[in-house]
Amino acid sequence: MLPELTQEEVLRYSRHLVIPEVGMEGQRKLKAASVLIVGTGGLGSPIALYLAAAGVGRIGLVDYDVVDESNLQRQIAHGTDRLGMLKVESARKRLLELNPFIQVDVYNEIFSSENAETIASGYEILVDGTDNFPTRYLLNDLAVLTGRPFVYGSVFRFEGQVSVFDARRGPCYRCLFPEPPPPESVPSCADAGVFGVLPGTIGTLQATEVIKLILNAGQPLIGKLLLYDALDMSFEVITLRKNPQCKVCGEHPEITHLIDYEAFCGVPARPHPQVEVGEGFDLSPEELAQRLQSGASPVLIDVRHPVESQISALPGALQIPLEKLPTKLQELNPQAEYVLFCRTGVRSARALKIMRAAGFQHVKHLKGGLNAWAERIDPKMLRY
C-alpha cells in the first residue's frame, strides 16, 4: 500500500505530478522508497540533495568524517558555518532544510563488513558515494548477496563513471573489476585532485538512476558503463556482460558472505593522515631542518606533481613525480643520501619503498610532508 500525499506535498512535487512517467502513483513510490547512500562528500552531496528534493521518503547517510575546509570546493551539502561538524549531521540538516517531509537516518561510522548488513537493513537501493575500493567492493558484494541494486559512481580529476549493478538482471561490479588495482597505482582525491563540478555531474547522474529504479521508468544503466570526460564534454557508453566465472555472482560463487575488504584491496577504507614506513626511514620536519642547518646536504626529491610546486616547495629539490620515479632511478646515485617529500607523506612513503627495493640504502622520507613542515618549521609556507 503506497502512502498518500498531503496537500503540501502535492504542491511541492507538482512539476513531477504532471509528468506521465511519474504522476501521483510515481510520487507515492518515491515517498515509499528507501535509499542508503554511503559517503556524504563530493558524490554523496548531489546524490542526497536531489533524492531529497525528489521526495524519496527515507534516506540513510553513512560517513565517519567531519567537514573540512578543503571539502567545500565540491561537497555542496556542507557549508563554511559547519566546519568541524560531523558530515552526516551536516548533510542531514541540509536535506531537511530542503525537504522537511522526508526521513533522514545517519550512521556516523565506517561502513565495514561487520556493520554493513545491519546498517543496510531495510533500504531498497544501495548507492556508492565513496572514494575507496574496499567500501566499493563491500557495497557490491552486499548488493549481490541480498538481491539489491547498487548504483555506482566514481570520479578522477576530469573523468567520471556511472553504472547500475544488479546481479539479478546483469553483471555486478566484480564482473567488470574482478580484482582491485594495486594500491600504489590509485592516488587519492587529495593527491590527484578533482575538478570541483565533476562530482556534481556524476552524482546527479547517479541520483537519476536511483529515481528511474524506484519509478521503473526508462532504461537503467544495468549492463552498461557510462564514461564522462568533462574536458571534451563527451559521454561514452560501454556494454558490460555478466562473467560466468565471477566469484560473487557467477555460476559457482566463491564469496558467499562479506569478507575483509581492506585486506582484499590492500588499503584501508579510511586513509591515515600520515604514513609511517618504519623506524629509521621516517624523518621528522625538525630532524630535516636540523640536518639542513648543520650543513648536511641530502638530495631532496619532491615526488609531487610539478603543478603542486606552485603552492609550496623546498629550495633545491629535484622534481621527480612518483609515477615517473621507477624510470628515473638509473639517473640517481645509489650511494647518495636522499630525503623524499610530498604533501602529507603518503606518496613519499611509496617512493621510499620503490627506491629501497631498487637497492638505494640511504633514503628517508619527510614524515607528514610539506604540510607538517609548514606547521612546525615554516609558518609562511602555504598548506593545502
Query: Which residues have a catalytic role annotated?
Result: 189, 342
In whole angstroms, give the CA distance from residue 242 to residue 176.
8
d(CA 373, CA 310): 16
Q: CA distances (Å), 274 to each of 74, 346, 352, 365, in order?
A: 24, 7, 14, 12
Query: Contact 54/22 with Cβ under 8 angstroms?
Result: no
* Buried b / exposed e along 207-221 (16+ C-beta atoms within 10 A): bbbbbbbbbeeeebb
Contact assessment for residue 339 and residue 365, using Cβ atoms and an 8 Å cutoff: yes
Residue found under cell 613525480: 321
Q: Are 338 and 364 in contact (CB under 8 A)?
A: yes
Q: Which residues contact 54 (CB under 8 A, 6 or more apart)?
A: 13, 16, 30, 207, 211
Q: Cell 541480498 sits at which residue?
A: 146
Query: Is 108 within 8 Å of 270 (Cβ atoms)?
Result: no
SS3 286: helix
Burial code of 238-261, b = ≥16 C-beta within 10 A, e = fewer?
eebebbeebbbbbeebebeebeeb
Using only the alpha carbons of the chain, give its radius of gyration: 24
Nearest residue to 314 (alpha-carbon basis) of 273, 262, 373: 373
Q: Which residue shows C-alpha cell 548504483?
A: 151
Cβ-contact 211, 143 below 8 angstroms: no
Which of 274, 273, 255 has the alpha carbon at shortest distance from 264? Answer: 255
Are 184 and 99 contacting, i.e. CB atoms less than 8 angstroms apart? no
